[in-house]
Structure 1
Amino acid sequence: MKHLVFVAALALFPCVASAQQAQTAQGGELRVLDKLNGTVTDVSLSTGESTQIGHLSVTLTECRYPRDNPSGDAYANLLVTYRDQVEPAFEGWLIASAPALNAMEHPRYDVWVLRCIRS
């Protein structure tokens, strides 16, 4: 199923399909929603950096944006773990303009990519 979602993303977002058109950023900005208490937290991470938000540990592996349009659509690779579980709650790419394409499916938390940080 994840492969099907990724193929759909490649078809819908040409900048994802061609790595030559993408520029890697120094970091990214994410938004986390705790659905239990309605708390929204925005966090800025450098590439490779991790942070603890509630019971989640979020690591930004990479953030990319279209080379031709630096303010354009960001997509980020994340590793998200819940509490001390060995199996990640989410591992993969999230696209800022289409968070539902490859969404993190968790009963308590939602995570979105807002933008890449270029400087």
Structure 2
Amino acid sequence: MAAPFAVPLAAQETAVESGTGAVLRGLDKVNGESRDIEIGRGETGTVFGLDIALSDCRYPAENPTGDAFAYLTIWERGAAQAAFEGWMIASSPALNALDHSRYDIWVLRCITP
């Protein structure tokens, strides 16, 4: 298992900066509803039945609208154990995805200053 805040390999190839937060999209696979939420760095947000904590969101320094890498901890409301913890990459959401029977979460972009 990688170190908790190890930067993904693609991000190591270029200079990155941390955003002030991230824009995420949640999908309820049962009813087909999707919602976008903004979460500030160091904050926790809620979408559907999931709580999502954002530790960091990084993006290429030369291209703020480029690929986003967000370190998320996701758990079902009221659960003690996280359902997901790690980096999610906007351009490759399936590379390291939340494995949940009802909900999907993925990163859209970082919020830049």
Quick check: TM above 0.5?
yes
Q: Give percent identity, aligned residues only.
A: 45
1:113 corresponds to which residue? 107
Structure 1 segments unaligned to the other structure (5+ residues): 4-8
What is the TM-score with the length of structure 1 in the denominator? 0.84
Give the helix-richer structure, 1 or 2: 1
Alignment partner for residue 54 of structure 1, among 21, 42, 48?
Answer: 48
The number of residue pairs the alignment matches comes to: 108
Alignment partner for residue 95 of structure 2, among 98, 101, 118?
Answer: 101
1:43 corresponds to which residue? 37
What is the TM-score with the length of structure 2 in the denominator? 0.88
C-alpha displacement at 1:101, in angstroms?
0.5
C-alpha displacement at 1:43, in angstroms?
0.3
Amino acid at match of 2:76: Y
C-alpha displacement at 1:83, in angstroms?
2.4
SS at match of 1:101: coil
C-alpha displacement at 1:22, in angstroms?
0.9
Measured on the aligned residues, the alpha-carbon RMSD in Å equals: 1.5
| Alignment deviations for residues 25-70 of structure 1 (CA, whole Å, 9 cap, x no partner) | 1011000001111110100111011112221001111100011211
The yes-or-no answer on 1:30 pairing with 2:32 is: no
2:5 corresponds to which residue? none
C-alpha displacement at 1:112, in angstroms?
0.5
1:65 corresponds to which residue? 59
- Counterpart Cα distance in 2 of 1:54 and 1:41: 9
